[in-house]
C-alpha cells in the first residue's frame, strides 16, 4: 500500500510477470507514469515561461519488465521508452 497524509491510498504489488495481480498497480507502472507526467509538466512549464500556450499535448511512454535468469544473475530488468 502506498500512502501519504492527505492523499488517497494506492494498492501496489508485483507485476503479473512476477505472479502479481493484473488489476493492481505495479511500482514499474507508477514509475513510467511519473516520468511521463514529469516530462510533460516540464514541457508545459517551459512553454508557458516563453509565453506559449499549447492547444493540445500528448505523450506516450512504455515500460517493460523482463525476467532474467542465468548463471550470472537472476531477477528482473526494467526498460523504459519515452
pLDDT of 71 > 70? The answer is no
Per-residue confidence (pLDDT) for residue 18, from 0 to 100: 82
Q: Give dist(CA 39, CA 28) in Å, integer.
A: 17
The per-residue pLDDT for 20 is 92
pLDDT at 24: 95
Q: What is the DSSP string of 23-35?
A: TSB-HHHHHHHHH
pLDDT score of 75: 66
Q: What is the pLDDT of residues 15-68, one digit of tens each?
A: 887 889 999 999 988 999 999 999 999 999 999 999 999 898 888 888 877 776
Tell which residue, 22, 20, 25, 23, has the closest CA to residue 10: 25
> Higher confidence at residue 61 or residue 70?
61
In degrees, to the nearest 5, what angle opens at C-alpha 40 toward C-alphas 24 and 6? 50
Amino acid at each position: 500500500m502506498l500512502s501519504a497524509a492527505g492523499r488517497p491510498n494506492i494498492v501496489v504489488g508485483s507485476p503479473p510477470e512476477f505472479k502479481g495481480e493484473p488489476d493492481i498497480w505495479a511500482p514499474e507502472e507508477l514509475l513510467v507514469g511519473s516520468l511521463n507526467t514529469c516530462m510533460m509538466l516540464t514541457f508545459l512549464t517551459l512553454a508557458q515561461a516563453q509565453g506559449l500556450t499549447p492547444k493540445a499535448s500528448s505523450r506516450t511512454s512504455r515500460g517493460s519488465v523482463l525476467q532474467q535468469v542465468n548463471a550470472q544473475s537472476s531477477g528482473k530488468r526494467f526498460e523504459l521508452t519515452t
